[in-house]
Structure 1
Amino acid sequence: MVTEKILTPEPENPVILASGIMGTTGSSLTRMVDNGAGAVVTKSIGPVPKKGHPNPTMVELENGFLNAMGLPNPSYSDFLQELETVKVNTSVPVIASIFAGDLEGFVEVAEGLSSANPDGFELNVSCPHAEGYGATIGCDSCLVEGITSSVCDAVDVPVWVKLTPNVTDIVEIGKAAQRGGADAVVAINTVRGMSIDINTGYPILGNRYGGLSGQAIRPIAVKCVYDLYASLEIPVIGVGGISSWQDAVEMVMAGASAVQVGSAVSQSLEVFNSISSGIENYLYSNEYSDIDEIIGLAHKMD
Structure 2
Amino acid sequence: MGADLRAYLAHVELPNPVLTASGCGGTGRELAQFSDVARLGAFTTRSITMAPRAGRPTPRMAETPSGLLNAVGLQGPGVDAFLQHELPWLVERGTRIVVSIGGGTAAEYAALARRLADVPGITAIEVNLSCPNIEDRGRVFAREGSAAAEVIASVRAATRYDVPVIAKLSPDVADVVAVARACVDGGADALAMINTPVGMSIDVDTMRPALAAGTGGLSGPAVRPLAVRCVWQVHAALPGVPIVGMGGVTTGRDALELILAGACAVAVGTALFNDPYACPRILRELEELLQRRGLDRLADAVGLAHRPAGSQQRTRTDLEESSL
**TM-score bucket of the superposed structures, by smaller chain:** over 0.9
Q: In structure 2, what residue type is equivalent to 1:175?
A: R
Are 1:190 and 2:196 matched, yes or no? yes
Deviation at residue 178 of structure 1 after TM alignment: 0.5
Q: Compare CA radii of gyration and give the structure with the larger one.
A: 2
How high is the TM-score relative to the length of structure 1?
0.92
The equivalent residue for 1:112 is 115
- Aligned pairs for 1:132-143 within 5 A: 132=134, 136-143=140-147
The SS at the match of 1:230 is helix
Are 1:223 and 2:225 matched, yes or no? no
Structure 1 unaligned spans of 5+: none
Deviation at residue 61 of structure 1 after TM alignment: 1.9
Per-residue CA deviations over 1:250-295 (Å, capped at 9, x if unaligned) read 1100000000000001121221111111111122222112011111
* Structure 1 residue corresponding to 2:170, chosen from 158, 164, 181: 164
Deviation at residue 131 of structure 1 after TM alignment: 7.4
The SS at the match of 2:266 is strand
* Structure 2 residue corresponding to 1:58, chosen from 57, 61, 64: 61
The equivalent residue for 2:259 is 252
Please give the alpha-carbon distance, in whole angstroms, between the structure 1 residues aligned to 2:40 and 2:11. 14
User: Are the counterparts in 2 of residues 141 and 172 from structure 1 also a CA contact under 8 Å?
Assistant: yes
Please give the alpha-carbon distance, in whole angstroms, between the structure 1 residues aligned to 2:269 and 2:91. 21
Between 231-240 and 212-221, the greater mean CA deviation after superposition:
231-240
Going from structure 1 to structure 2, the CA distance change for 1:207 and 1:266 (only over 3 Å counts) comes to: same
Per-residue CA deviations over 1:60-98 (Å, capped at 9, x if unaligned) read 1231100001111111111102112101112x4201000
Are 1:22 and 2:29 matched, yes or no? no
Per-residue CA deviations over 1:218-273 (Å, capped at 9, x if unaligned) read 00000000001011131111000000000000110000000000000112122111
- Aligned pairs for 1:199-278 within 5 A: 199-232=205-238, 233-278=240-285
* Structure 1 residue corresponding to 2:183, chosen from 174, 177, 180: 177
User: Are the counterparts in 1 of residues 250 and 278 from structure 2 also a CA contact under 8 Å?
Assistant: yes
Per-residue CA deviations over 1:149-204 (Å, capped at 9, x if unaligned) read 12111111110000001111111110011001111000100111101111222101
Percent identity among equivalent residues?
Answer: 37
* Structure 2 residue corresponding to 1:126, chosen from 123, 130, 150: 130
Q: In structure 2, what residue type is equivalent to 1:201?
A: M
Q: CA RMSD in A?
A: 2.0
Per-residue CA deviations over 1:79-129 (Å, capped at 9, x if unaligned) read 102112101112x420100011111100111111334321110000025xx
Structure 2 unaligned spans of 5+: 310-324
Are 1:87 and 2:87 matched, yes or no? no
Going from structure 1 to structure 2, the CA distance change for 1:183 and 1:122 (only over 3 Å counts) comes to: same
Please give the alpha-carbon distance, in whole angstroms, between the structure 2 residues aligned to 1:48 and 1:168. 32
The SS at the match of 2:187 is coil
Please give the alpha-carbon distance, in whole angstroms, between the structure 2 residues aligned to 1:173 and 1:2. 28
Q: Number of matched residues?
A: 297
Between 36-45 and 259-268, the greater mean CA deviation after superposition:
36-45
Moved over 4 A (4+): 29-33, 130-135
Please give the alpha-carbon distance, in whole angstroms, between the structure 1 residues aligned to 2:67 and 2:281. 20
Going from structure 1 to structure 2, the CA distance change for 1:251 and 1:69 (only over 3 Å counts) comes to: same
The SS at the match of 2:236 is helix
Please give the alpha-carbon distance, in whole angstroms, between the structure 2 residues aligned to 1:209 and 1:32. 32
Please give the alpha-carbon distance, in whole angstroms, between the structure 2 residues aligned to 1:113 and 1:29. 24
